[in-house]
Amino acid sequence: MIVEIGSWKGKSTVCLGLGSQAGNGVPVYAIDPHADYRFGDFKTNVERAGIAELVRPIASLSQPAADTFDQPIALLFVDGSHEYDLVLEDFEKWVPKVVDGGWVAFHDTTWTAGPRKVVAQAVYRSRRFKDARFVVGSTTVARKVLHNTFADRARNRYVLGVKTAFWLGSSALKNQRRLLPEPVERLGRRVLKAIQ
Ligand SMILES: C[S@@+](CC[C@H](N)C(=O)[O-])C[C@H]1O[C@@H](n2cnc3c(N)ncnc32)[C@H](O)[C@@H]1O
């Protein structure tokens, strides 16, 4: 199973659904209050992408939804509330349902304090994750394991260091209202990929 927390109009749902369709065709549970005024857009986008039969919307906040969800999760994507306490609650309630060897992905973990703090303490510094990395500048992904090794922990800490340096550097540029030229940004993205 794939679980998505926070669907909005379905952009990430479509990415997850297309990934599932190309792979094992597992269902994607899309958890969001799915407010009436945008659920129409969500449905249209999911149908247009040809993945409607894989997507199971759950109209709820993610924290209470965890109490009744009892299926093993292979990939958990978290992009719901960005408040520290609620992201932490998502972590505490949903990550135990992810199978060992499964993946977690948390969106907005660079410039947004809530998710950044949760992944720093509960993913990068944890004994339960390996292969932690951040992609496209802000999404932290990691594989859940029963116990990570010393080498896994050292690697996760190293990536956290790279991520923190990236965050501080990019925030300093933002504060000076400076934009990097596109080729420099592209090169930066490549370097980030190569060093983590
Ligand atoms: C940043 S948007 C998600 C964007 C979406 N993942 C995408 O790629 O387009 C955040 C979404 O989380 C939902 N949300 C906010 N708090 C939530 C909660 N506690 N549980 C579930 N969803 C929540 C909001 O309704 C909103 O649709």
pLDDT (tens, 9 = 90+) of the chain, 196 residues, equals: 999 999 999 999 999 999 999 999 999 999 999 998 899 999 999 999 999 999 999 999 999 999 999 999 999 999 999 999 999 999 999 999 999 999 999 999 999 999 999 999 999 999 999 999 999 879 999 999 999 999 999 999 999 999 999 999 888 887 777 777 788 878 888 888 888 8
**Rg value, the chain, Cα:** 17
11 CB less than 6 Å from ligand 1?
A: yes
Q: What residues does each domain of the chain span?
A: 2-195
Closest CA to 106 of 130, 123, 128, 121: 123
Q: How far apart are CA 167 and CA 175, in angstroms?
A: 12
Helix (H, G, I), strand (E, B) or coil at 44: helix
With tokens 């659904």, the residue in question is: 17
> In whole angstroms, what is the distance from residue 15 CA to residue 31 CA?
15
pLDDT of the residue at 178: 73
User: Which of 81, 91, 92, 118 most suits a substitution to test ligand 1, by most atoms within 8 Å of the C-beta?
Assistant: 81
> Quick one: CA torsion of 155, 101, 93, 33, rounded to 10 degrees?
100
The two three-digit tokens of residue 19, written as one number? 């990934």
- Does 80 sit in the ligand 1 pocket, CB within 6 Å? yes
CA 58 to chain centre: 18
DSSP 3-state of 192: helix
Ligand 1: which atom is nearest the Cα of residue 62?
20
pTM, two decimal places: 0.94
What does the pLDDT read at residue 111?
Answer: 93
CATH class of 2-195: alpha beta
Q: Give yes or no for residue 102 CB within 6 A of ligand 1.
A: no
Distance CA 185, CA 162 (A): 16
What was the pLDDT predicted at 171? Answer: 83
Residue 111 near residue 138, CB atoms below 8 Å:
yes
Phi, psi for residue 60 in degrees, rounded to 5? -165, 160
32 pocket-lining for ligand 1 (C-beta < 6 Å): yes
* Burial of 37 per CB tally in 10 Å (0-12, 13-18, 19+): exposed
* Ligand 1 pocket check for 88: Cβ under 6 Å: no
